[in-house]
Copies of this chain bind each other. A is one copy, B any other.
């Protein structure tokens, strides 16, 4: 019975014209009854609503969005497939911040990934009032398409573009602090585990997060009179598995560092797991420093020394900037926020082992 009923309703959804006819009024009146009841007589308004209810009428959201030029939705642009993104705890924390501000302002969230290869393509099919792009390199062709579409956008963790507002953190200073910490403990042989840029290799953004952090590491290392050679920088996807693979690769190549600088907590955790698999201990044999300071970092054993960045707040601020751009009350010049990072020392770092075997 229910089944049949729902089939009938799926067949033909009630429209505003149906309600108008059933109630013996104009479409305008029905629209008023829903949107500005004070423009109607009390009796008429409530009768219309009643009729509408009995017909199961709901204003069609798409039609409404068309006339109001507003979808009450913001898009989150990600450089990778969503199925990869959602397994990344960093992204979860970021989304938390995004969701918090979006929700309290009555906006829904739409996640947009490079559908069938092209982000621009995906964006142009999508019904949003504006979007937050995370980790998009600024020279991406997609960015230009968005610009031409006239869609408000805020960039997070991208090299800043003058005409879009942006939110980033002081990656370089954070990275430098992490490296200085290891150096101060006495480490001299340091391996950097970097996050692989998701973009099709080749065009690499010199202002991307990867390179900014690398500059910080390198600055500290060179200030100590040492050198960071290219073979001491390995990369992989920003995941636990990626961290394991990166460490195992380097170890297999014969590298024997005493300290590891990982560009994400997830990779640091992966490295720690790989280290344990080699029957070595953290921080006894190797020290590990992460980046992000996710919940994860305190959770594991030993708790991870890492560079804290306000991931959640990045999401919040990005949406705030976006909402003000959408409402048109944005400043003359787009705002560029740079948030702080700081080193959190926990138990995954210590002095290097006394040189026994080498």
A112 to B2, CA, bound (A): 26
CB < 8 Å: which of B62, B102, B240 contacts A65?
B62
Interface 0/1 of A61-101, CB less than 8 Å to B: 11101100001110000000111011101001101110110
- CB proximity of A262 to chain B, nearest CB, Å: 15
A295 adjacent to chain B (CB < 8 Å): yes
Determine the chain B residues whose CB is within 8 A of the CB of A273 once the complex forms: 299
The answer to whether A10 touches B150, judged by C-beta atoms less than 8 angstroms apart, is yes
Determine the chain B residues whose CB is within 8 A of the CB of A150 once the complex forms: 6, 9-10, 13, 56
A26 adjacent to chain B (CB < 8 Å): no
A65 to B60, CA, bound (A): 11
CB < 8 Å: which of B10, B82, B97, B148 contacts A99?
B82
The answer to whether B73 touches A110, judged by C-beta atoms less than 8 angstroms apart, is yes
CB < 8 Å: which of B99, B113, B149, B163 contacts A2?
B163
A269 to B99, CA, bound (A): 25
Interface 0/1 of A125-167, CB less than 8 Å to B: 1110000000000000000000111101000000000110000
Max chain B C-beta neighbours (<10 A), residue from A56, A58, A162: A58
A301 adjacent to chain B (CB < 8 Å): yes
The answer to whether A115 touches B106, judged by C-beta atoms less than 8 angstroms apart, is yes
Determine the chain B residues whose CB is within 8 A of the CB of A89 once the complex forms: 89, 92
The answer to whether A113 touches B103, judged by C-beta atoms less than 8 angstroms apart, is yes
The answer to whether A92 touches B87, judged by C-beta atoms less than 8 angstroms apart, is yes
A108 adjacent to chain B (CB < 8 Å): yes
The answer to whether B62 touches A83, judged by C-beta atoms less than 8 angstroms apart, is no
Determine the chain B residues whose CB is within 8 A of the CB of A72 once the complex forms: 125
A3 adjacent to chain B (CB < 8 Å): yes
A82 to B96, CA, bound (A): 7
Main secondary structure of the interface of A (DSSP, over half): helix
The answer to whether A116 touches B106, judged by C-beta atoms less than 8 angstroms apart, is yes
The answer to whether B300 touches A2, judged by C-beta atoms less than 8 angstroms apart, is no
A109 adjacent to chain B (CB < 8 Å): yes
The answer to whether B83 touches A96, judged by C-beta atoms less than 8 angstroms apart, is yes
- CB proximity of A123 to chain B, nearest CB, Å: 9
A296 to B87, CA, bound (A): 11
CB < 8 Å: which of B113, B125, B301 contacts A61?
B125
Q: Which of A258-289 contact B (CB under 8 A)?
A: 269, 273
- CB proximity of A85 to chain B, nearest CB, Å: 8
- CB proximity of A69 to chain B, nearest CB, Å: 8
Interface 0/1 of A234-278, CB less than 8 Å to B: 000000100000000000000000000000000001000100000
Determine the chain B residues whose CB is within 8 A of the CB of A93 once the complex forms: 86-87
Determine the chain B residues whose CB is within 8 A of the CB of A61 once the complex forms: 124-127
Determine the chain B residues whose CB is within 8 A of the CB of A58 once the complex forms: 124, 148-149
A106-B116, A108-B111 known, 8 other contacts, Cβ within 8 Å = A13-B150, A62-B65, A63-B66, A81-B100, A83-B100, A87-B92, A108-B115, A240-B295
8 closest pairs, A vs B, by CB? A82-B99, A301-B301, A83-B100, A56-B148, A86-B95, A10-B150, A86-B96, A83-B99
